Amino acid sequence: MSNFKNKTMIDFNKELSKTEIEDLADITVENIGNGLLDPLEVAAYCKKGIALYEMIIKKSYSLIVSEKERFEGNDLSRYSCKFSLSSTGERLNYEDDERYANISGTLKDRQNLLKTAYKSNELIYDADGAEVPKVALKSPSKQILKIEIK
């Protein structure tokens, strides 16, 4: 790899469209592939940028909402972004219902038994003496990259 020092990381302005952001990402990946940028440095930079921007939005959430509410209509377009407010809806606490909690617990127990049967080389039987089947694999495990900011 080449010398990464004194390279501008990623620079963009607030007016970029989604397509232009995608193009910028493609150029950045191409620069990584060509050895012009350090892939780990770019990943760290992006991870920190995401954390920074998410913190800013979270900490200024009420200010953002107040500003959005100054404008009529559900959608507001500014800076190549659409701002809108919506409700997440209510979430019920189903566990308050004893019958639901029992069924949920039984289901979790069965899932654990099916996991055991899947991993075992021997036959597994449930509490009623019935053989626990080896269920099919829904999706294989995947390698994931974790990037933690220290």
For the segment 25-47, what is each residue's pLDDT rounded down to a tens digit? Answer: 999 999 999 999 999 999 999 99
- Per residue, the 3-state secondary structure of the chain, as one string, reads CCCCCCCCCCCCCCCCCHHHHHHHHHHHHHHHHCCCCCHHHHHHHHHHHHHHHHHHHHHCHHHHHHHHHCCCCCEEEECCEEEECCCCCCCCCHHHCHHHHHHHHHHHHHHHHHHHHHHCCCCCECCCCCECCCCCCCCCCCCCCCCCCC
For the segment 87-106, what is each residue's pLDDT rounded down to a tens digit? Answer: 888 999 999 999 999 999 99
